[in-house]
Amino acid sequence: MKPLILITNDDGVAAKGLRTLDEVAMEFGDVVVMAPEYNASGMSHSITSSRPLRVREVKQAPGLSVYCCDGTPVDSVKLAVEYFCPRRPDLVLSGINHGSNSSINVLYSGTMGAVIEASALGIDAIGFSLLNHNPEADFTPCIPFVRHIIGTTLERGGLPLGISLNVNIPRLPADEIKGIRVCHEAHAMWHDSFEKRTDPQGRPYWWLTGKFVCDNPPEASDVWALDHGYVSVVPIHPDFTHYPALHELDHMFNS
Amino acid sequence: MKPLILITNDDGVAAKGLRTLDEVAMEFGDVVVMAPEYNASGMSHSITSSRPLRVREVKQAPGLSVYCCDGTPVDSVKLAVEYFCPRRPDLVLSGINHGSNSSINVLYSGTMGAVIEASALGIDAIGFSLLNHNPEADFTPCIPFVRHIIGTTLERGGLPLGISLNVNIPRLPADEIKGIRVCHEAHAMWHDSFEKRTDPQGRPYWWLTGKFVCDNPPEASDVWALDHGYVSVVPIHPDFTHYPALHELDHMFNS
């Protein structure tokens, strides 16, 4: 039986990056798409519990079923796995995101929220992002890398246990991308996150903005890799525990 | 100068758990509260970029300023640190959440999203949760533990570098809580996450539900600690990288 691949994103079901990912995934198996109807960027791992969700069928074609819902990327994964996939997916893909999810951006990303949810459900998952926010971005240079990463993962029978992948692709022509680097998240932060403005009635409001600051990223990090023309692949896992601190904290609170 | 403590939550500015946390925090320093106006449970690490935010001043008293906004818990932290704290906070507290944030629930939790955001900004942060969803839950048994953990952290001059804390408190009378255990997140998942129903017009909708499944949690895990009457303290950090997998994945994709 062909592999079953579930695809989602956070830019919405009509996004160009999603269509690119569908096309590559269909080379490897049957594809079910369940994505938010509209843009759900910055939704992280959020779930919708205060209202019910609706689902709309967008398209049925041989080897491809496309649905959208009015929930988040994480809702999309849960709903699709439980109700819209004909069997348990072999792989969940998310993206291709319009914009970077390297470094600390993984925390805010709906694209990566979906990946982490799949991983928490025990399903191999890979998130792809291109460092280009433009809705009309050219995804062509991504294709050979997306194909290689999906193909290798399926051939090998999956990812190492409990691991999912955060793949970012630099905004470069295909022949200038140097290859793949497996790396860790760079430590960074967003500065000046809100801009204060005044509305026409003279009342203040605050709008999210911010400047990504990552000074001297180490050579083993994703930001370094992307800055130097490589595709970055970061293995991630859905456990926030900082294991090395366990002993020190036990001493701190229990002595 | 007294420590400055910033407090937020995801149950909304009027929640009883937030008021309990304010009262304990005021024993240790000046307090600024910035919380979502209404319930923002399940918002994880999400941020609001598609619309501007408004802020409302709720209360000014000696040593206590209370504000609310129409954003998420993460928005609340960013906004408060940048515009509403008179100086950089020494500590960010989040909660006391009405309901568990142990194990995998940390992923979905707005309470813990706020903690991780503070940590990413380089500020020590602690999230507190009581295993009781009731809006009128009795938070009295939490108080000695919350006081001990805040007091110890401030006395020591902060948490170990890069670490924040996820503290969960069992739903037990004060004299039945056995103490504090520092532990790792239990691995678990939510089963049967959506319930399919039919509306009065005969159309389907799906509502989030689910059953928390954690079989045989190890003795070193938070679920075990809580099941056995202990307060669980999990050190967390905002880096999802699975470092032990780096070498294996490099071999997988680059050979």
Contact A49 B42 (CB under 8 A): yes
Task: Using the predicted structure, report yes or no on whether residue A234 has a pLDDT greater than 90.
Answer: yes
Which residue, among B252, B254, B255, would best test binding to A if mutated, counting the most A CBs under 10 Å from its CB?
B252
Q: Which fold has domain A4-188+217-253?
A: Stationary-phase Survival Protein Sure Homolog; Chain: A, (3.40.1210)
Q: Considering only residues A30 and B41, tell me which one the structure prediction assigns the higher pLDDT.
A: A30
Cβ within 8 Å of residue A24, ≥6 positions away: A143, A146, A147, A150
Residue A165: pLDDT above 90? Answer: yes
pLDDT value of position B255: 82
Q: E strands along A100-139, which residues? A: 125-130
The residues that bridge with A180 in the sheet, in sequence order, are A231
At A173, the pLDDT band (50, 70, 90 cuts) reads: very high
Looking at residue A63, its pLDDT comes to 96
pLDDT at B65: 98
B68-116, pLDDT tens digit by residue?
Answer: 999 999 999 999 999 999 999 999 999 999 999 999 999 999 999 999 9
pLDDT tens figures, B173-189: 999 999 999 999 999 99
Q: Does A198 touch chain B (CB under 8 A)?
A: no
Element (DSSP H or E) covering residue B235 = strand B230-236
Query: How near does any CA of chain A get to the CA of B231, in Å?
Result: 11
Domain ranges of chain B: 4-253
**String of b and e for B135-154 (b: at least 16 CB within 10 Å)?**
eebebebbbebbeebbebbb
> Would an 8 Å CB–CB cutoff place B101 in contact with chain A?
no
Domain B4-253 has CATH 3.50.50.60: no
Nearest to A233 among B75, B108, B249 (CB): B249
Q: In whole angstroms, what is the distance from residue A16 CA to residue B244 CA?
A: 34
- Check: pTM over 0.80? Answer yes or no: yes
Between CA A142 and CA A171 the distance in angstroms is: 9
Per-residue confidence (pLDDT) for residue B192, from 0 to 100? 83
Q: Give contacts of B250 with chain A, Cβ < 8 Å.
A: 182
Mean pLDDT of B119-147: 97
Q: Does B184 touch chain A (CB under 8 A)?
A: yes
- Give the chain A residue nearest B73 (alpha carbons): A46
Q: Could you tell me the two tokens for A135? A: 């809705």
- B42-54 mean pLDDT: 95
pLDDT at B242: 94
Q: Does the beta-carbon distance from B241 to A185 stay under 8 Å? A: yes
Any B CB within 8 A of A241 CB: yes
Interface residue A78 vs chain B (CB under 8 A): yes
Q: Answer for the pair B15, B135: CB distance below 8 angstroms, yes or no.
A: yes
Task: Determine if residue A184 is left, alpha or beta; phi over 0 gives left, psi from -120 to 50 gives alpha, anything else beta.
Answer: beta
Q: Is the pLDDT of residue A192 over 90?
A: no
Q: What percent of chain B has pLDDT over 70?
A: 100
Binned at pLDDT 50, 70 and 90, residue B235 comes out as: very high
Per-residue confidence band for A255, with pLDDT thresholds at 50, 70 and 90: confident
What mean pLDDT is reported for chain A?
A: 96
Mean pLDDT of A93-115: 97
Write down the pLDDT at residue B110: 97
**What average pLDDT does the segment A69-77 reach?**
97
Give the pLDDT of residue B1. Answer: 85
Give me the long-range contacts of B197-204 (CB less than 8 A, separation at least 24): B197/A52, B203/A54, B204/A55
Give me chain B's average pLDDT, please: 96
A43 with A76: CB under 8 angstroms?
A: no
CA–CA separation, B46 and A100 (whole Å): 16
- Put simply, whether B83 touches A (Cβ < 8 Å) is yes
Q: Which of B41, B206, B240 sits opposite A185 (nearest CB)?
A: B240
Average pLDDT, stretch A160-184?
96
Residue A179 has pLDDT above 90, yes or no: yes
Judged by DSSP in three states, A191 sits in: strand
